[in-house]
């Protein structure tokens, strides 16, 4: 399958990049890579890479650019890509990664358009979301829940997944210190990263991501379906 579009999701932690990606996978048949998931897979399998990045992840710091770009390059080389649209969730996060990705995009061929999407949300909303976020422990499910008062994402039964019944757990980096660090790191790189793409002539598709997920998905899918097919650059 040749790739038509690679959509880069740039946004703070907890801005719903993963949830929106999942919707796109389920409803549009697109494919998604999350560099956070690739890292957590290494940690779970206790690979050498996993052992070397465990501390960075737990404390909310970035993994080195070289290691992350290599994971993404390997994914494109090894993965059986079955969709013409691929979402990159959480990559690139730094200008160095963006430069690495520019090289990869060249290798994907002329037909592959790169589309840059930026999510905007208040830090206070992010903190509330992440402090209250629980995920299904079952690796093949990983459904996301919220224990925030009145949230539509609350599980129906106490601390068990509605879909598969497994226990709900917290991610190791969803604690107050790591959340603060992840937000700080995101804001440190965001404007340089966006400038990299603006200077290269890309349009930045911006979405407010404090909307209910179904509404965000509808707006996003309409925008991507309507305009982004035609041209990635202004
Ligand atoms: P979030 O965006 O909510 O922090 P992710 O699951 O996307 O969560 O990422 C979790 C962690 O994985 C990050 O805090 C970082 O340590 C590591 N990581 C993921 N993507 C990158 C990246 N592109 N560059 C460096 N580190 C990354």
- Which of the residue ranges 89-93, 145-149, 226-230 would you say has the lowest mean pLDDT? 226-230
Q: Following CA atoms 182, 194, 209, 5 in sequence, which dihedral angle do they give, to the nearest 10 degrees?
A: -110
Give the burial string for 26-41 (b: 16+ CB within 10 Å, else e): eeeebbbbbbbbbbbe
Q: Which atom of ligand 1 is nearest to the CA of 15?
A: 3
CATH number, position 107:
3.40.50.300
Q: Average pLDDT in the 44-56 region?
A: 95
Write out the residue range of the structural domain in which residue 113 sits: 5-121+175-226
Q: Is 76 inside any structural domain?
A: yes
Closest residue CA from atom 3 of ligand 1: 13
Please identify which residue in the block is written with the tokens 């990263």: 193
Q: Is 166 inside any structural domain?
A: no
Q: Write down the pLDDT at residue 227.
A: 45
CA of 63 from ligand 1 middle (Å) equals 7
Report the distance separating Cα 103 and Cα 126, nearest Å: 32
> 114 pLDDT exceeds 70?
yes
String of DSSP letters for 95-139: HHHHHHHHHHHHHH-TT-EEEEEEEE--HHHHHHHHHTEEEES-T
Q: Is 145 inside any structural domain?
A: no
**Ligand 1 pocket, CB under 6 A:** 13-14, 34-36, 39, 56-57, 60-63, 68, 90-91, 93, 97, 173, 182
Q: What is the pLDDT of residues 95-105, one digit of tens each?
A: 999 999 999 99
- Mean of all residue pLDDT scores within the chain: 92
Tally Cβ neighbours within 10 Å of residue 22: 20
Number of domains in the chain: 1
> 141 pLDDT exceeds 50?
yes
Asked if residue 141 lies in contact with residue 163, where contact means CB atoms within 8 angstroms, the answer is yes
Please identify which residue in the block is written with the tokens 């966006």: 194
Q: Is 162 inside any structural domain?
A: no
Nearest CA among 19, 34, 10, 32 for reference residue 130: 19
Q: Is 207 inside any structural domain?
A: yes
CA of 7 from ligand 1 middle (Å) equals 17
Closest residue CA from atom 2 of ligand 1: 13
Closest residue CA from atom 1 of ligand 1: 13
CA of 90 from ligand 1 middle (Å) equals 6
Q: Average pLDDT in the 55-68 region?
A: 96
Report the distance separating Cα 58 and Cα 36, nearest Å: 11
Task: Tell me the chain's radius of gyration from C-alpha atoms.
Answer: 17
Q: Write down the pLDDT at residue 232.
A: 47
Q: Is 152 inside any structural domain?
A: no
Q: Is 221 inside any structural domain?
A: yes
For ligand 1, pick from 63, 75, 128, 209 the residue to mutate: most ligand atoms within 8 Å of CB: 63
Asked if residue 126 lies in contact with residue 13, where contact means CB atoms within 8 angstroms, the answer is yes
* DSSP conformational letter for 233: B
In which band, very low, low, confident or very high, does the pLDDT at 128 lie, cut at 50, 70 and 90? very high
Q: Average pLDDT in the 25-52 region?
A: 94
Q: Write down the pLDDT at residue 80.
A: 83
Question: Is this prediction's pTM over 0.75?
Answer: yes
Q: Is 208 inside any structural domain?
A: yes
Q: What is the pLDDT of residues 170-226, one digit of tens each?
A: 999 999 999 999 999 999 999 999 999 999 999 999 999 999 889 999 999 999 984
């Amino acid at each position: 399958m040749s790739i038509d579009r690679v959509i880069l999701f740039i946004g703070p932690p907890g801005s719903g990049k993963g949830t929106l990606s999942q919707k796109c996978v389920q409803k549009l048949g697109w494919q998604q890579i999350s560099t956070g998931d690739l890292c957590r897979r290494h940690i779970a399998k206790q690979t050498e890479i996993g052992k070397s990045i465990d501390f960075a992840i737990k404390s909310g710091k970035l993994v080195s650019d070289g290691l992350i770009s290599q994971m993404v390059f390997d994914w494109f080389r090894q993965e059986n890509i079955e969709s013409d649209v691929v979402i990159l969730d959480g990559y690139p996060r730094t200008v160095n990664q963006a430069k690495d990705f520019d090289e990869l995009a060249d290798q994907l061929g002329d037909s592959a358009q790169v589309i840059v999407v930026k999510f905007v949300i208040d830090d206070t909303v992010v903190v509330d979301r992440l402090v209250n976020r629980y995920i299904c422990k079952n690796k093949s499910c990983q459904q996301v829940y919220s224990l925030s008062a009145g949230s539509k994402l609350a599980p129906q039964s106490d601390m068990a997944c509605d879909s598969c019944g497994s226990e709900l757990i917290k991610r190791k980096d969803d604690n107050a210190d790591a959340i603060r660090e992840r937000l700080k790191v995101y804001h440190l790189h965001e404007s340089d990263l966006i400038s990299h793409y603006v200077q290269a002539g890309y349009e930045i598709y911006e979405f407010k991501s404090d909307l209910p997920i179904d509404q965000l998905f509808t707006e996003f899918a309409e925008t991507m379906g309507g305009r982004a097919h035609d041209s990635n650059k202004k």
